[in-house]
Structure 1
Amino acid sequence: MNIHTAIVDDNNFLIKSVKDKLSLFEDMQISFTANDGVQCMEKLQTDKYTDLILMDIEMPNQNGIETTALVKQKHPQIKIIMLTVFDDDENIFNAIKAGADGYLLKETPPKELYDAIVQTLEGGAAMTPSIAMKTLKLLRNPLEIQPEKQEAIILTTRETEVLEQLSKGLPYTAIAENLFISPSTVRRHIENIYKKLQVHSKIEAIEFAKKKRII
Structure 2
Amino acid sequence: MPISIAIADDHNLVAEAISDLVQKFDNYEVLFVAGNGRDLLNRLQRGPIPDIALVDLNMPEMDGFETTSQLRQLHPSVRVLALSMTDREEHIVRMVRNGARGYLLKDCRPSELRRALDDVTTKGFYYSDFLTHQLIRSMNLPDVAGPVSYFNLNKREFNFLKLACSELTYNEIADKMCVSPRTVDGYREAVFQKMNVRTRVGMALEAVRKGLVEL
Q: Same fold (TM over 0.5)?
A: yes
Q: How do 1:44-123 residues align onto structure 2 when only pairs under 5 Å count?
A: 44-123=44-123
Gap runs ≥5 in structure 1: 156-209
Is structure 2 residue 7 aligned with structure 1 residue 7? Answer: yes
Match of 1:146 among 156, 175, 198: 156
Q: 1:96 to 1:14 in 2, by over 3 A?
A: same
Larger C-alpha radius of gyration, 1 or 2? 2
Deviation at 1:136, TM superposition (A): 1.6
Aligned-pair Cα RMSD in Å: 2.8
Deviation at 1:153, TM superposition (A): 6.9
**TM-score between both structures, scaled by the size of structure 2:** 0.65
Note the alpha carbon deviations across 1:68-119, whole angstroms, 9 max, x for none: 0000001111100101101112211211111111000011222221111110
Say which SS state the counterpart of residue 6 (structure 1) adopts.
strand
Gap runs ≥5 in structure 2: 145-154, 159-186, 197-209
**TM-score between both structures, scaled by the size of structure 1:** 0.65
Say which SS state the counterpart of residue 23 (structure 1) adopts.
helix
Q: How do 1:116-195 residues align onto structure 2 when only pairs under 5 Å count?
A: 116-139=116-139, 141=141, 146-147=156-157, 152=193
Counterpart contact for 1:8–1:37, Cα < 8 Å = yes
Say which SS state the counterpart of residue 16 (structure 2) adopts.
helix
Deviation at 1:33, TM superposition (A): 0.9
Say which SS state the counterpart of residue 5 (structure 1) adopts.
strand
Q: 1:70 to 1:31 in 2, by over 3 A?
A: same
For these two proteins, the number of residue pairs brought into alignment is 158
State the distance in 1 between where 2:23 and 2:48 align. 21
Counterpart contact for 2:79–2:124, Cα < 8 Å = no
State the distance in 2 between where 1:2 and 1:45 align. 21
Identical pairs, percent: 28
Deviation at 1:3, TM superposition (A): 0.7
Counterpart contact for 1:6–1:52, Cα < 8 Å = yes
- Where does residue 167 of structure 2 map in the other structure? none
